[in-house]
Structure 1
C-alpha cells in the first residue's frame, strides 16, 4: 500500500492506494471533481495534476501529445494515465473552482394558479348525530371534489391525531389531483415550491413562494457527474460498464439537488418541510439518471428513451429533502436528445402561442433547436459536442473563476476573466470571441487554417506576429504567456481547437437550416431568435455571427433569454394549467433525427467554412 497526499484548494488529504491503482479512479472515488470530459479515456487532457513528490514514470506518447513537453517537465501528469507505484504527493488546485452559472431568465407567464395550494378550515366536531369518518369530515370541510379513494397510508395513519391537535382546525394541502397532506391548525402562510434545471454541466435551483409566485432564493452548482465525462454518452457508457454505475450517478445527482434545497431554504429562513412540490427540467439522459431509470438505449440507434412523458412521484421516492408528503413532477420531453429542458424553454418564451415563426437555440453540451409557432414546431438536436463549454479545447475550461470569457486583439490584446482573476484558460464564450477576432484580422482564414506567414495591415497589429506560434508541433495563437497566468502555463488557441469549433458550429448551423427547410419557410419568415442556456446568456452575438454559429440572415433578431428551461419549471410551479401546456408542446413538436438526414450532411459540409453560405 502507498500513501497518496492530495493538495486541493488549500486543503490537504492523505489516502492509501494499492500498487498499480489508477490515480484518476482514486481521485474520483474520493469525491474530487476532477475535470474529465473523456471519462478517463486519455483523449481530452483535462485531468492533469501536478506531481510534487513521488515516482515520475516515463509518459507515453498520448500523454506527451496532450500535455506537451513543457508541462511534463514542470511535473504535470494526466491522472487517468498515471498508475501509483510509490508514495506520492500531488496538487489538483485547478479543480472545484466557483462557477459562473446562468440562473436569470425571461418571465412571460404571470398568472398565479399554483401547482399546490392550501385550504384552511374549521371542521364540525363529531357527535352522535354526526359520526362520519375523520377522512370524510376533512373532505366535507375543505375539499370541493371529494376523493373516493385514499392513496396515502401515512396520511391516513396520522389523520386522527392531526385534526384533534388544534381542536379540529386543519389545513388541507392539495395538488390538482391529490390530497398531499392534512396539517393541524392554519399553515396557509407557508407554501413553497422548488424548480430545478438539471444540465449535463450545471444544476440550477430556485425556491418559489407559491402564495405570491415570487422567486425567494436561487442557487447553482456544477453537476458532479462531470468527473464521468462531459457528455451524456460518456455517462451512459459508465452506467453500462460498471455494475453500480447507475446507482452511483443517481446518488451524486440527488446529493447535489439536496444540497441545493438546503441552501435555498437557509437563504430564505424556512424549513425544507415548508416545500411541498418540486419540478424538474433537464435533458432526457439527466432525467433518466435522476429517476434511476436505465438510459442505455438512448446511446444507440434508434435512440429510444424509457420515457419522455410527464412523471409524477412522491418526493420521498427519489428521495429529495422536502416535505415528507411532497410531490415531484418531471416535465415532459420530446425525444432522446430533445428533452424536458427544451420543452420548458419553449413554454417560458411562449413561442408555442406565437402566430409568427421563432427560433429557439440552446447551445450546451448538445445543441437543441426548435423552430416554429402555434401553427407547428420542428426540433432537432445537433451533436455539437461540449466544445462550447471548454471541453476538447487544449486550454478550455468551464465557466469558472479564471476562465477568459471575452477577448479583443485588434488594438492590442485585452480580455476579461470570470471572477476578475488571473487567467487559467478559455471558456466557450472566450473561445468564440478569440476565433472571431482572428478571423477578422486574417490570422485564421475562411477554411479555418492559421496563417503562419500572416502580416499585419497596421503597425498597431505588429505585436500579433509573435503570437502566431508552433508548440509541440501544433500551430496556434498565444493569447497569454506563462507568466501572465494563474497556473504558470501558456494559454493558446490551437489549430486543433479551431477544428473542434468548426465541427461544433457547423452542426448547429446545419441543424438550423434543416429545420428551416422542413418547415417550408425562409429565414426572412423568422421573426425572433431566442438564445437560451448559459452559453447563450453570455456569448457575444456579433462573434457568434462572425464565425457562422448563427446564420447571418438572422442578424438583428437575436435575443438572449437566459435559463429559459428553469423558467419553464418555475412557471409550472406557479400555474398548474401550464403542466398541460407543456404536455401539449411535447406532443406537438415534430422531431428530426439529423443522423438520418441527407440534407444535414450537405449543409454540414457547407457550414464548415467561415464564409457566408
Structure 2
C-alpha cells in the first residue's frame, strides 16, 4: 500500500519543445519543475504571479483552477488555449507543457556585466609569497617544524591552524625548501618547493541579476580570464525586496539564499579555472563587492532591518575571513575572502567599487557617477565632498514591469532608431521576442523627439502628431480596446509594441533617478557638472543621447557623459591587487555623506518633476 501511495505522488511532466520528461511530485509548482532542469524561466516577481512573465501552454493534461492573478494577466483567449502562469499552477497529473516564446526552452542566458578597466595596475598585492630554504633538523637543532618556518619569515606571523597537520609532510616532501603565502600576518598556505611565481586571486561583483568573476595574476597584475553566471537567487525575485521577503516568509529562506549565491560563485570559479592550468590551491584570496542586501545574504546574515525604515544594515564594515566560512567548495578552506565595506542600507560595496575604479574622489570639478538598475546608486563628487544616495528605480530597466519586457538575452530589442521608419537591433540577431531596458529607453527617447510622445508621457493619436512625422511611423500608432494608444515596433504575428503603461513605468524609474541626482546637486549647492560616468552593465550600454532625450540626466553635453563599464568589478580587482587601493576602499565610506531620499523633504517634488520628458 505504501508503494502505491508513493507512486500516486509521482507524475510525469513533459517539457516542449525540448521533449524533456521530468518526474515531479503531485502538487509541485510547475515553475520549480522547470527550474529543476536549469531552464531560464522569467519569474522576475519571485513567483508571486504579478509579472506574468512565466507564461506557458498546457498542451496535454489537466491543470488546477486559474488563480486570481492568472485571470488578471491572461486574456480569455489565452486561457481557452491552455496558457497558464508556471508560478501559479501545480502539477496535478501527467501533463505536457510548452514553454512560451519568451522562454523558448533555452538554457540560462547570462548578460555580460560589462568590461572591466583594462589599465588596472598595482604592485603591492594583498597576499605575498616567500621561498624558504630551511635548515634540516638535527640532534643539536631540534626546533619545531612550525618555529622553523615562522623564524624564517620577517616580522611576527602566525600559521593558520588548518595547515598545522600538513606541515611535517610538506616540509619533508620539499626537503625543507618550501614556499609560504602570507595574508595579514598569517601564513594561509604552505607548499613544497619554490612556487612563488604561482600567485592568483579572484575578484567578484555580485549583482542582483548576474555575477561576474575575474581571475587575476597577482604577480603581473593582469586579468587572465572573466566569467559570468546568473545569480541563482533570481528564482526568488528580480529585486532585493523580493529576496528579503523570501527570507522572512520561509523558515529556511536565509540559508537557501546563501546557498544559492555560493553555488553561483562556485560555478564561476570552476569556469575561471577550467583550461587555465591553475590549480584551485593557488587561489589564495578573493575580493567581493555587491549591494548591501547581497552582502548580507552572502554571509547568511538576516537583512530584515534593511527592508524597513530606518533601513539599518547589520554590518557596514569590510569583512575578512577564511573561505570555508562562506561554504565555497571549489577553493581550499584556508584561502581568504575580503568583502568590501558598505555605505548604507541601499548603497553597498559595489558603489565603493565604482568610486575606487573611477577615482571620482580625486577628480577635479563636479562629477556624477550613476549605476542604473532596479536600485539606482548615485555618487556626486563636488568640492572635496562625496555624497551618495540610492533610488528605488523599480524593475522597468530589467523588463519586469514592461508588457513585453525581457532581460538583455537573445530575441530582445536592445537598440532603436527612428527616422523614416523604425530600425531595431536584436540580441543574437534573432527574431525579436520582446524589448529590454536599453531598447525601451532608445524607443521612448526617439518618440519624444518626434512628438509621438508628449512631455507628460501620453502617446499621441496619429492625428495629433506633428505634420512632418513620416507616414510609416504614424501608421505604427494603434488604438487598443482600452482606448489607449500603443506604438508598434515590430509588426506581424509576433508583434512587439510599447504601451502607455510601459511609458508610465519608465517615467517612474527615470523620475526616481533624476530626483536623486537633483537632490544631491542641491545638497552640494552646485548647478553644473563637469562630467557624468555611467557604470554597470546596463548603464554602460545606454546611449547618452537617449538618456538626455528622456530627461534622466541633467542637461550636459553628451561628449561629457562617459560609460565606464563594470566599474564595481574593476574596483574589486583593484582592491585585490593593491594593499593601498584596499585601504582606500575601506576609507571611502567614512568620507561619504549618505542622503536618505525617503526622508528628504524635497524628494516628492523632484520625483514628480523628474517624471516629465
The interval holding the TM-score normalised by the smaller chain is over 0.9
Q: Are 2:59 and 1:52 equivalent residues in the alignment?
A: yes
Q: Which stretches in structure 1 are left out of the alignment for 5+ residues?
A: 484-488
SS of 1:81's equivalent? coil
After superposing the two structures, state which structure 1 stretch, 495-504 or 97-106, moved more. 97-106
Instruction: Sort the Cα spacing of 1:543 and 1:170 in 2 relative to 1 into closer, same or farther, 3 A.
Output: same
Q: Which stretches in structure 2 are left out of the alignment for 5+ residues?
A: 1-8
SS of 2:409's equivalent? coil
Query: Is the CA contact (8 Å cut-off) linking 2:63 and 2:92 kept in structure 1?
Result: no
Query: Is the CA contact (8 Å cut-off) linking 2:24 and 2:91 kept in structure 1?
Result: no
Query: Is the CA contact (8 Å cut-off) linking 1:356 and 1:373 kept in structure 2?
Result: yes
Alignment correspondent of 2:595? 592
After superposing the two structures, state which structure 1 stretch, 391-400 or 23-32, moved more. 23-32
Residues 193-238 of structure 1, C-alpha deviations (whole Å, 9 max, x = no match): 1111000011111101111110111111221211211110000000
- Aligned pairs for 1:349-364 within 5 A: 349-364=358-373
SS of 1:77's equivalent? strand
Query: Alignment partner for residue 131 of structure 1, among 142, 163, 179?
Result: 142
2 CA distance for matches of 1:352 and 1:62?
Answer: 48
Query: Alignment partner for residue 404 of structure 2, among 385, 392, 395?
Result: 395
Query: Is the CA contact (8 Å cut-off) linking 1:35 and 1:226 kept in structure 2?
Result: no
Instruction: Sort the Cα spacing of 1:16 and 1:237 in 2 relative to 1 into closer, same or farther, 3 A.
Output: same
2 CA distance for matches of 1:165 and 1:336?
Answer: 50
SS of 1:598's equivalent? coil
Alignment correspondent of 1:249? 257
CA RMSD of aligned residues (A): 2.1
After superposing the two structures, state which structure 1 stretch, 168-177 or 92-101, moved more. 92-101
Instruction: Sort the Cα spacing of 1:18 and 1:7 in 2 relative to 1 into closer, same or farther, 3 A.
Output: closer
- Aligned pairs for 1:547-558 within 5 A: 547-553=550-556, 555-558=558-561
Q: Are 2:568 and 1:568 equivalent residues in the alignment?
A: no
Q: Are 2:501 and 1:496 equivalent residues in the alignment?
A: yes
Alignment correspondent of 1:480? 490
Alignment correspondent of 2:432? 423
Residues 422-459 of structure 1, C-alpha deviations (whole Å, 9 max, x = no match): 11110100010111111122221111011124456568
Alignment correspondent of 1:261? 269
How much does 1:281 deviate?
0.7
Structure 1 runs, 4 residues or longer, greater than 6 Å off: none
Alignment correspondent of 1:110? 121
Alignment correspondent of 2:3? none
How much does 1:42 deviate?
1.9
1 CA distance for matches of 2:273 and 2:198?
Answer: 12
SS of 1:45's equivalent? coil
What TM-score do the two structures reach when normalised by structure 1?
0.93
2 CA distance for matches of 1:74 and 1:450?
Answer: 31
Query: Is the CA contact (8 Å cut-off) linking 1:7 and 1:90 kept in structure 2?
Result: yes
Residues 30-80 of structure 1, C-alpha deviations (whole Å, 9 max, x = no match): 654422222222221111112222236675664344244554455432122
SS of 1:268's equivalent? coil
After superposing the two structures, state which structure 1 stretch, 67-76 or 313-322, moved more. 67-76
Query: Is the CA contact (8 Å cut-off) linking 1:529 and 1:554 kept in structure 2?
Result: no
2 CA distance for matches of 1:334 and 1:50?
Answer: 46
How much does 1:99 deviate?
2.9
Alignment correspondent of 2:512? 507
Query: Alignment partner for residue 94 of structure 2, among 77, 87, 107?
Result: 87
SS of 2:151's equivalent? helix
SS of 2:471's equivalent? helix
Alignment correspondent of 1:411? 420
Residues 365-406 of structure 1, C-alpha deviations (whole Å, 9 max, x = no match): 210000015822000000001211211111011111111100
2 CA distance for matches of 1:61 and 1:146?
Answer: 67
Count, aligned residues: 599
Q: Are 2:453 and 1:444 equivalent residues in the alignment?
A: yes
SS of 1:180's equivalent? strand
How much does 1:101 deviate?
1.4
2 CA distance for matches of 1:590 and 1:424?
Answer: 43
Query: Alignment partner for residue 13 of structure 1, among 21, 26, 30?
Result: 21
Residues 460-489 of structure 1, C-alpha deviations (whole Å, 9 max, x = no match): 821233322244525321212343xxxxx4
Instruction: Sort the Cα spacing of 1:130 and 1:361 in 2 relative to 1 into closer, same or farther, 3 A.
Output: same
How much does 1:593 deviate?
0.7
2 CA distance for matches of 1:32 and 1:515?
Answer: 42
1 CA distance for matches of 2:220 and 2:14?
Answer: 48
Instruction: Sort the Cα spacing of 1:274 and 1:64 in 2 relative to 1 into closer, same or farther, 3 A.
Output: same
